[in-house]
């Protein structure tokens, strides 16, 4: 039985990783058949013997009905249960083996069969870029409306071609802090990329963000007590009020050409553009930057 099972299982065995499941199933079948054949040794002497060899597999054992004078039906049930248990364990083992054999390329993720750049730089080892002047867009895009958080800025970073990305992805920015929890530097904030994959300057070496400055006056939270708030780069300040300023948004909006910026990523696969040139695209601000 073992030889026969292994000969049948050989058709599922391959050296490629995707056939690991085949090897597991073959092993499970062989084990189940061994248990079945052993159970047949307990058939009583009065039980009629089959004139032709039993077909391989557990089909015949499952069809055998238990009776008072024979353990044949019980043996079939034992084989089925044993095979199911071994098969489940083998499938789990195959999943682990398949995961182990799948070699991941660093900085790459496969999305719909295509490789895209992915987390080339992490929070513990970010890319150190610099702020560049932008000849296409002004730094401040909006006009002062009198609201505390009226300003939206367009800021461009030089990444030297080391942080490639595609449209629809995000990058992380690490602010010096402290943040709400007092951490220094602050944890990364993700922002949707506001430039095409080649950048605003078409060099494939820059990335731009479009960021709204977060300022809340006399709100539930404050990181500046009365008398502590000072005018930002746009000249907005509220020294006579309790103010909360977004840690990273204000860090980015106050940047000037030549300033250093810590970048992580790129990341994000949910907002990628379709390949079809005639596809209808509805664009929404996701809350991680206006792109």
Q: Which residue, among 257, 261, 271, has the nearest Cα to 173 in the 3D structure?
A: 261
Q: Could you say which residues of the chain have pLDDT below 50?
A: 1-21, 24-84, 96-102, 291
Q: Helix 72-101 and helix 20-39: axis angle, to 10°?
A: 160
Quote the pTM value. Answer: 0.63
Alpha carbon of residue 243 to chain centroid: 36
> What is the structure's pLDDT at 94?
52
Is the Cβ–Cβ distance between 64 and 78 less than 8 Å?
Answer: no
> What is the structure's pLDDT at 63?
37
- 21-46 pLDDT, tens digit per residue, is 455 444 444 444 443 444 444 444 44
> What is the structure's pLDDT at 87?
56
> What is the structure's pLDDT at 181?
82
> What is the structure's pLDDT at 16?
47
């Amino acid at each position: 039985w073992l030889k026969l099972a292994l000969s049948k299982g050989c058709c599922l065995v391959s050296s490629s990783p995707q056939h690991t499941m085949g090897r597991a199933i073959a092993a499970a079948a062989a084990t189940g058949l061994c248990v079945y054949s052993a159970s047949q040794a307990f058939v009583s002497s009065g039980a009629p013997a089959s004139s032709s060899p039993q077909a391989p597999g557990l089909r015949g054992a499952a069809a055998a009905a238990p009776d008072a004078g024979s353990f044949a039906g019980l043996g079939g049930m034992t084989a089925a249960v044993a095979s199911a248990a071994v098969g489940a364990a083998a499938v789990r083992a195959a999943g682990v083996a398949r995961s182990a054999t799948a070699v991941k390329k660093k900085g790459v993720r496969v999305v719909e069969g295509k490789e895209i750049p992915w987390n080339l730089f992490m929070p513990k080892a970010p890319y150190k870029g610099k702020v560049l002047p932008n000849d296409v867009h002004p730094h401040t895009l909006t006009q002062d409306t009198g609201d505390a958080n009226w300003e939206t800025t367009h800021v461009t970073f030089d990444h030297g071609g080391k942080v490639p990305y595609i449209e629809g992805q995000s990058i992380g920015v690490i602010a010096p802090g402290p943040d709400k929890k007092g951490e220094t530097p602050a944890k990364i904030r993700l922002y949707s990329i506001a430039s095409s994959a080649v950048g605003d300057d078409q060099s494939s070496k820059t990335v731009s963000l479009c960021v709204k400055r977060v300022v809340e006056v006399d709100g539930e939270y404050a990181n500046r007590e009365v008398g502590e708030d000072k005018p930002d780069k746009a000249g907005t300040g509220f020294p006579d009020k309790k103010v909360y300023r977004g840690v990273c948004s204000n860090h980015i909006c106050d940047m000037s050409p030549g300033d250093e910026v810590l970048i992580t990523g790129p990341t994000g696969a949910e907002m990628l553009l379709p390949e079809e040139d005639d596809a209808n695209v509805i664009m929404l601000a996701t809350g991680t930057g206006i792109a």
